[in-house]
């Protein structure tokens, strides 16, 4: 046993797969301890906030202010409000309006703005300008107002009686707030989804739930497959014929279709994560049963089994002591594959909207489903679906890698 373990951990593929899987497990267990927020809490009003650090504007105005004289502050501010694309568009308009191309320098913001203010006229007809483009220029022109202003902003409160604004303070361009002194900020490393939920928290919980579904489904499938395989292989005769018939029946019906039909007939309300896991397990045992049966048949005729019979051992003891240990490595490998394929099956089901009901827990498949329904793919909101996709890929990649590693250890023909 110890020797086998040492051999397994000498296999590079297994170790890489195992490390990835262990890291995922670790994150899934530790993260909820640190972030005690329900993964389905809606925090954002609006859809698909991009990833980043969200600082409360209100709190940063009232937090202590520091004056910093930074040379590149103005340039950076300009750059963030006037992008390179905007500058090029401005140049294009100016050239269209009859200015010489060589006279316009897009890097010189002040000169560019000066030229723009002097020349721009929304009513002017530039040849080849589409309506959409014309509207864009109108918007651009409006946003340029006060771009070069050096004064700060005034803060005002509203008098509740008269409704008049009373100035309470000024914010200069050189005023800074220290982020650590701002009372409220929120890191949304992966932004929010269509409902305004924190994608990262959701992702970690979903990975955990998907893994649980995978493990339950894998265990169910392996247990059924193992029992039927052992029975068919060892008992033989009529039992074998019946089990083989049922197995063949399940093989010709695509298991995913079966899965869809069962999930659909269970109904949305009854579909908890556990139910889905059991359903996946019930449709996935076929190949394990077949392979175990084949292995047991070849073991049944081995002399050590005959000798065990001659020593008067019971069928139960022969199966447990003389047959199971020989196929244990195979069963473990089958289990790993079953878990990985169950996770994929859950994802497939959920994308179709037949996964666990949406009010309890998120799963990786459901995250994909939501992103799909709210057109995150089309809108380019990558954070809503890519992380879930990566999590599915990583989990099943690590499990398949472990499986290949184990195969190399247990199957001498594949050893290098």
Partner 1 sequence: MAITKQICLSTSGLTKIFGFGRRQTVAVDHVDLNLYEGEVVSIVGESGSGKTTLAKILLGLINETAGDVFFQGQKRDISSHQKRQEYWRNIQAIFQDPFSSYNIFNKIDSVLLDCINMRGGRGLARAAKVELMREACSFVNLKFEELTNKYPFELSGGQMQRLMIARIFLLKPKILIADEPTSMIDACSRATILDELMKLRDEIKMTIIFITHDIGLAYYVSDQVYIMERGKIVESGSADEVILRPRAAYTQRLISDVPKIHEEWDLSTV
Q: Which is nearer to partner 1, 134 or 313 (CB)?
A: 313
Q: Which is nearer to partner 1, 71 or 303 (CB)?
A: 303
Residue 95: CB partners within 8 Å, gap ≥ 6?
Answer: 101, 104
Distance separating alpha carbons of residues 219 and 241, to the nearest angstrom: 25
Stretch that binds partner 1, among 66-74, 88-96, 191-199, 314-322 (CB under 8 A): 314-322
In the complex, the smallest distance separating the C-beta of residue 312 from partner 1, rounded to whole angstroms, is 4
Instruction: Tell me which of 41, 143, 306, 411 binds partner 1, using CB under 8 A.
Output: 306
In the complex, the smallest distance separating the C-beta of residue 1 from partner 1, rounded to whole angstroms, is 9
Distance separating alpha carbons of residues 52 and 37, to the nearest angstrom: 18
Instruction: Tell me which of 101, 303, 316, 413 binds partner 1, using CB under 8 A.
Output: 303
In the complex, the smallest distance separating the C-beta of residue 339 from partner 1, rounded to whole angstroms, is 25
Q: Which is nearer to partner 1, 3 or 139 (CB)?
A: 3
| 298 belongs to the binding site for partner 1 (CB under 8 A) | no
Distance separating alpha carbons of residues 286 and 121, to the nearest angstrom: 74
In the complex, the smallest distance separating the C-beta of residue 399 from partner 1, rounded to whole angstroms, is 26
Surface-to-core class of residue 27, CB atoms within 10 Å of its CB (0-12 exposed, 13-18 middle, 19+ buried): middle
Stretch that binds partner 1, among 57-65, 305-313, 359-367, 401-409 (CB under 8 A): 305-313
Q: Are 67 and 174 in contact (CB under 8 A)?
A: yes
Is the torsion defined by CA of 274, 277, 283, 288 positive or negative? negative
Distance separating alpha carbons of residues 11 and 405, to the nearest angstrom: 6
Q: Which is nearer to partner 1, 323 or 351 (CB)?
A: 323
Question: What six digits make up the tokens of 199?
Answer: 């994608």
Residue 104: CB partners within 8 Å, gap ≥ 6?
Answer: 91, 94, 95, 112, 115
Instruction: Tell me which of 325, 393, 414, 415 binds partner 1, using CB under 8 A.
Output: 325
The residue count for binding partner 1 (CB under 8 A) is 16
Distance separating alpha carbons of residues 213 and 201, to the nearest angstrom: 18
| 309 belongs to the binding site for partner 1 (CB under 8 A) | yes
DSSP 198: B
In the complex, the smallest distance separating the C-beta of residue 15 from partner 1, rounded to whole angstroms, is 25
| 311 belongs to the binding site for partner 1 (CB under 8 A) | yes
In the complex, the smallest distance separating the C-beta of residue 2 from partner 1, rounded to whole angstroms, is 12
By the criterion CB under 8 A, which residues form the site for partner 1? 302-304, 306-314, 321-322, 325-326
């Amino acid at each position: 046993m110890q020797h086998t373990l040492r051999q397994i951990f000498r296999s590079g593929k297994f170790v890489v797969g195992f490390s990835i899987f262990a890291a995922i497990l670790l994150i899934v267990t530790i993260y909820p301890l640190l972030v005690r927020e329900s993964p389905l809490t809606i925090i954002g009003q609006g859809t698909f906030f991009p990833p980043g650090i969200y600082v409360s504007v209100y709190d940063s105005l009232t937090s202590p202010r520091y004056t910093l004289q930074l040379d590149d502050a103005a340039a950076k501010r300009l750059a963030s409000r006037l992008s390179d694309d905007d500058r090029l568009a401005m140049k294009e308009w100016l050239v269209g309006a009859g200015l010489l191309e060589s006279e316009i320098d897009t890097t010189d913001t002040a000169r560019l703005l000066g030229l723009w203010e002097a020349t721009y006229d929304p009513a002017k007809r530039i040849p080849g300008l589409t309506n959409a483009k014309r509207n864009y220029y109108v918007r651009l022109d409006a946003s340029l107002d006060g771009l070069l202003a050096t004064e700060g902003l005034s803060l005002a409160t509203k008098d509740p009686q008269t409704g008049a604004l009373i100035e309470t303070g000024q914010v200069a361009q050189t005023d800074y707030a220290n982020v650590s002194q701002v009372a409220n900020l929120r890191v949304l490393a992966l932004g929010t989804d269509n409902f305004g939920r924190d994608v990262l928290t959701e992702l970690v919980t979903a990975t955990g739930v998907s893994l649980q579904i995978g493990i339950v489904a894998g265990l169910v499938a392996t247990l059924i497959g193992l029992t039927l395989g052992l029975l068919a292989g060892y008992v033989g005769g009529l039992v074998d014929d019946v089990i083989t018939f049922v197995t063949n029946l399940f093989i010709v019906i695509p298991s995913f279709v079966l899965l869809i039909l069962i999930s659909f007939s269970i109904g949305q309300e009854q579909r908890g994560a556990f139910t889905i896991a059991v359903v996946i397990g019930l449709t996935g045992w076929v190949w394990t049963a077949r392979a175990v049966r084949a292995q047991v048949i070849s073991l049944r005729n081995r002399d050590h089994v005959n000798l065990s019979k001659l020593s008067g051992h019971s069928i139960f003891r022969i199966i447990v002591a003389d047959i199971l240990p020989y196929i244990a490595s195979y069963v473990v490998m089958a289990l790993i594959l079953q878990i990985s394929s169950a996770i994929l099956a859950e994802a497939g089901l959920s994308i179709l909207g037949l996964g666990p009901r949406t009010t309890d827990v998120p799963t990786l498949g459901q995250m994909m489903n939501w992103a799909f329904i709210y057109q995150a793919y089309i809108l380019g909101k990558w954070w809503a679906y890519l992380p879930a996709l990566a999590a599915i890929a990583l989990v099943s990649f690590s499990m398949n890698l472990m499986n290949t590693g184990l195969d190399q250890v247990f199957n001498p023909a594949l050893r290098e």
